[in-house]
Structure 1
Amino acid sequence: MRKAFHGYILIAPVMIGCLVFTLIPFGIVLRYSFTQGYGAAGMFVGMEHYTKMFQNDLFRLAFFNTMKFLAIGLPLIMLLSYLLALLMQKQAGKHKLLKSVFLFPYIMPVAGTVLLIDLLFGEKGAVNGLFAALNLPIVEWLNGKYAFWVMILMYLWKNTGYSVILLLAGLVTVPAEQYESADLDGASAFQKFRYITTPQMWYSVFFALIFSVINAFKCFREIFLIGGEHPVDELYMLQHFINNCFSNLNYQKLSVASVLLLIVIIVFFGLFYAFVSRKEAFRE
């Protein structure tokens, strides 16, 4: 009991910090989403703000673009990073320099990433320079319909290496004896992947997916520096909407958008975690 008390003392600062800087602000945000006005004078209005939010064209555009970014970017980054991790699996202890190269885009500062994107896809960038040399029309990569896909490409380039390292850490924990036994039984490479590798990688994939989602939302920094507060429609994300609501001191809209985004994230991770847990239970 005494040891447990000492443990509680040690974690108390962290718990107090979590309460003060996370739970209490979240409670305030939740309250704003159901009330009109500020402070104790706020009047409860039920779901009125949520109803109005779904009728807001800017919110629907931002929500659609954000979900589209996640729906396209997450499968691509997980598939690409998993394939690269599988290729590096047998030499995981070697090629340390290659791992560093993979991580270089991830640790590149935001300003450096934006500068690189502008050098490549700006109006006078390298890609348009190549198009001009080939007598092809100049494309507005960052201010038109292609801007969204440039951001997807940036997301993959910047974060794939980090996901590869996370998945590689899971792959090296798969016992080599299982592969050797499968070789003796005449199993093909696909059979080893399906029956040995994949069943033992679900939690590693889940962990990598969490960070991929976090990194997807971090891409707003680059998108904001490229497009500003009011970018082209293809780049208008939920973070733009929330940031603009904060700038206009519209805490009700800001709070509703934040709560809805949190609900989507919780539902997404809850469903995937249930899927992973079911796979693990079946394997056991």
Structure 2
Amino acid sequence: MEHLQETGVRVKWGGGRKMRKRNNGFLLAFPALAGFLVFYFVPFLITVWYSVSFGIGKREFVGLDNFKSLFENEMFLLAVKNTIQYMAVTVPVTLAGAMFLSILLQNAVKGVRFFQLSFLYPMILPIASVVLGVQFLWGESGIWNRILELIGGEPKDWLNTSAAFWVLCILYCWRFTGYYVLIYFARLQMIPREYYEYATMFGAGKWQSFWHITWPMLIPTFGFTIVLSVMNGFKCYREAFLLGGNYPDDSIYLLQHFMNNNFQNLNYQKISAAAVSIVAALLVPAVVGYVLYLIVRRGKKYG
């Protein structure tokens, strides 16, 4: 009986320790949660109200009129189209190139440390100096125009034509590929070498080893870099602004240009509707993908 009482006391005290650990975890996370609520969630709720209302001072509910006006705006549609095209080009090319380079780096014998450091240099350089280098290459009086003049061609103002889109894509790939290489390389170093040795013993080639060992191990990291690359893609406004200003060539007029120009014009309901639309466009596929993932996972577990 005494033994049971002692055991009960132990269980009780053990449960108390677990509760204290949970409370301590909440207290540690509270500053971050409070910052998120104050600086992100509450302003987003205000933005949602602005997107369905109109007026200065006393605002009136207008329903979806702001969204209707937004999707009839040609500049917004142009910005959406350019941003989607920009993401569709830069994200796959950058991630595929980074994965290929990380695998090559994994098999390299010498110079690994040098390449690891050199991959970070593009991110360290100030963006203003990088844009100056771009203008030195593709500007109206840049090197490419000088070469065209030497071979009898006609110089172009590359940064004020549709070629500016590809210049912006090259700039993104150059800046971020090395960063993703380091992320993939760090994950590849965590894969036990015994897996590849066993696969080789049973006759697996390099492609089979990649498909059945490397790729499954890289899938979580690959998902993380997709999110990271999309976020970095939305930050490209600095480069586009320095290349073309507030109203650049139509090929690089992005959502950030639209938001910034309407903010300067104090058109809050339009930028609020645009912000809510962008968040919805990002959240809906993410939620649907997560639900499908849970369904497939549950099917594998019980099937």
TM-score surpassing 0.5? yes
After superposition, the C-alpha distances for 1:163-211 in whole angstroms (9 at most, x for unaligned) are 1111112222222111000100111111111111111111110111111
Maintained 8 Å contact 1:202/1:276: no
> Are 1:177 and 2:215 an aligned pair?
no
Quote the Cα distance in structure 2 between the aligned partners of 1:78 and 1:175. 23
For residue 92 of structure 1, report the CA deviation from its aligned partner.
8.7
- Aligned match for 1:17, one of 22, 35, 39: 35
Quote the Cα distance in structure 2 between the aligned partners of 1:107 and 1:218. 16
TM-score for the superposition, normalised by structure 2: 0.86
> Are 1:214 and 2:231 an aligned pair?
yes
Which AA in structure 2 matches 1:262? V
Maintained 8 Å contact 1:70/1:216: yes
Structure 1 residues 47 and 126 mapped into 2: Cα distance closer, same or farther (>3 Å)? same
Quote the Cα distance in structure 1 between the aligned partners of 2:188 and 2:294. 18
Quote the Cα distance in structure 2 between the aligned partners of 1:244 and 1:110. 21
> Are 1:127 and 2:148 an aligned pair?
no
Maintained 8 Å contact 1:70/1:213: yes
- Aligned match for 2:63, one of 46, 64, 67: 46
> After the TM superposition, which residues 1-284 of structure 1 pair with which residues of structure 2 at under 5 Å, given as runs?
1-39=19-57, 41-91=58-108, 95-270=112-287
Maintained 8 Å contact 1:179/1:192: yes
Quote the Cα distance in structure 2 between the aligned partners of 1:11 and 1:132. 62
Quote the Cα distance in structure 1 between the aligned partners of 2:293 and 2:213. 16
For residue 219 of structure 1, report the CA deviation from its aligned partner.
1.2
After superposition, the C-alpha distances for 1:125-167 in whole angstroms (9 at most, x for unaligned) are 1222222222222122100011101101111111111111111
Quote the Cα distance in structure 1 between the aligned partners of 2:296 and 2:93. 22
SS in 1 for 2:158: coil
Aligned-CA RMSD value:
2.3
Quote the Cα distance in structure 2 between the aligned partners of 1:54 and 1:239. 16
For residue 90 of structure 1, report the CA deviation from its aligned partner.
2.8
For residue 259 of structure 1, report the CA deviation from its aligned partner.
1.2
Structure 1 residues 12 and 208 mapped into 2: Cα distance closer, same or farther (>3 Å)? same
SS in 1 for 2:160: coil
Quote the Cα distance in structure 1 between the aligned partners of 2:211 and 2:116. 26
Quote the Cα distance in structure 1 between the aligned partners of 2:285 and 2:160. 31
What is the number of residues matched between the two proteins? 283
Structure 1 residues 127 and 185 mapped into 2: Cα distance closer, same or farther (>3 Å)? same
TM-score for the superposition, normalised by structure 1: 0.92
Quote the Cα distance in structure 2 between the aligned partners of 1:268 and 1:67. 15
SS in 2 for 1:142: helix
Give the match for residue 7 of structure 2. Answer: none
Quick one: percent identity of the two aligned structures? Answer: 37
Structure 1 residues 269 and 160 mapped into 2: Cα distance closer, same or farther (>3 Å)? farther
SS in 2 for 1:201: helix
Q: Which runs of 4+ in 1 moved over 6 A?
A: 274-284
Quote the Cα distance in structure 1 between the aligned partners of 2:187 and 2:279. 28
In the alignment, structure 1 segments of 5+ residues that lack a partner are none
